[in-house]
Homo-oligomer: A and B are copies of this chain.
Amino acid sequence: MNSFKTIKLAIIGIGSVGSSVLKIFQKNKKIIEEKCGCRIEIKTVCDKDPSKQKLIFNGTKFTTNYNEVLKDPEIDIVVELIGGIHPAYEIISESVKYGKHIVTANKAVLSEHWDKIFLLANKYNKTIYFEAAVAAGIPVIQSLNEGLAGNNILSITGILNGTTNYILSLMTQQKCSFDTALKRIQNLGIAEADVSYDISGYDTACKLSILSSLGYSSWVKLKDIFIEGIEDIELQDIFFAESFGYKIKLLGHSGIYKNKYFFEVRKFLVPKNSVFANINNEYNGILIEGSNCGKIFFAGKGAGGFAAASAVVSDIICIAKDIINAVGGRAQYVEYIPKKLDILNIKENEGYFYLRFITLDKAGVLAKIANILGRYNVSIASVYQKEPLLKLRRGVPIILLTHKTKEKNLISAIKKIKNLDVVLKPSVYIKIFSE
């Protein structure tokens, strides 16, 4: 242990993750210091809410003004845990300019400003670690960046948002509506008050952007990702999917199709024997396919203060070791000439799909639908005419599973089918995930 050196931290933002980090340091400071090989001191804690001062201990300084932290020459590592784009972006970039290394859990600012942040870190030779930004305590960032470095990454797929996965799990297990499930998890304190970032798919997209930027060695912008949320999900589709051996999950999914990269966040029907089928509630699961290692699966809690704090503390330990070992900075992510990715419009991609139509209960309906699908080269793998789950005032459901088809063709066909006078409600189509 290098007992002459003390590494000084500042933590900005004391929400659920920040307060868990404080508790871990309070309990395990000695063990952490042994792992780092030096002393570690939380010099300053900053939060805009002055009442957070009650959480600090051992002579740590408290401030509501983050500028005090940035300008303090003694601080080696700034831990940014406020989330959101502003002022997180300013805190990170100013800290780097003032010579500090960064640990952050902020997926939004990284996915929005990836290039600017890492170019700055390179320029100032500082490290930015962000294991907690994706899948909380699951060490998937480090694995993509280092442990799987000996591979060309071929695909990255994951359940990356605990809130939406909890909603879908509740709907599946308790056969309740989206609204009921959402209210239940808000009452349990699992979801944020504002869940719009989660249920719209934005949070998953930020995480997919980060994983993809690492995996494919090029910044994958949010605008390059097709994003669909779970707001419009209906219980009947969960039922139907289940009866065919599938669960519905919100996946971030990326890969390569005919030498082009595709990125999508959307509901998928996942086969029950898939690794994703048993990732329930707040758990996350990530499947990474490498050219040499094959498919590697990671799973664990994707939410919760301590799970994310586990990653934050691990990052602090890694940077502290680097400082002790006299490494300037290892902001490896954009160090070298970034690859230019050729991006595929998701609608040009092929896939298998689940379709549901509510139609009049009379002869010839299926033939009309099948006829239109055929005209657009959408080939039907199987057809189910199920009893409706709730007595519909009018109509019966027809469920189709397709063979592999271009999504673009499917959309065109559905537009035509909508105009049939036997079709009563908007049609639903959901992509099927195949490993």
A positions within 8 Å CB-CB of B = 1, 20, 24, 28, 31-32, 34-35, 37, 131, 136-139, 141-143, 146-152, 217, 273, 275, 278, 290-301, 304, 306-307, 309-318, 321-322, 325-328, 330, 332, 335-337
Contact = CB atoms under 8 A, between A and B. Distances in A.
27 contacts: A28-B291, A34-B217, A35-B149, A37-B332, A136-B293, A137-B148, A137-B296, A138-B293, A139-B139, A139-B142, A139-B147, A139-B296, A142-B143, A146-B318, A148-B310, A149-B317, A149-B318, A150-B311, A292-B307, A292-B313, A294-B300, A296-B298, A296-B299, A297-B298, A325-B330, A326-B326, A327-B327
Residue from A24, A32, A300 having most chain B Cβ neighbours under 10 A: A300
A296 B300 contact: yes
Contacts of A291: 28
Nearest to A135: B296
A336 B324 CA distance: 13
Residue from A296, A311, A316, A322 having most chain B Cβ neighbours under 10 A: A296
Contacts of A332: 37, 321
Copies of this chain, complex-wide, total 2
Given A34-B217, A313-B149, A292 B24 contact: yes
A1 B296 contact: no
A131 B147 contact: yes
A314 B1 contact: no
Residue from A24, A146, A152, A336 having most chain B Cβ neighbours under 10 A: A146
B137 A336 contact: no
A137 B294 contact: yes
B328 A150 contact: no
Contacts of A138: 293, 296
B146 A139 contact: yes
Given A35-B149, A317-B146, A325-B328, A275 B301 contact: no
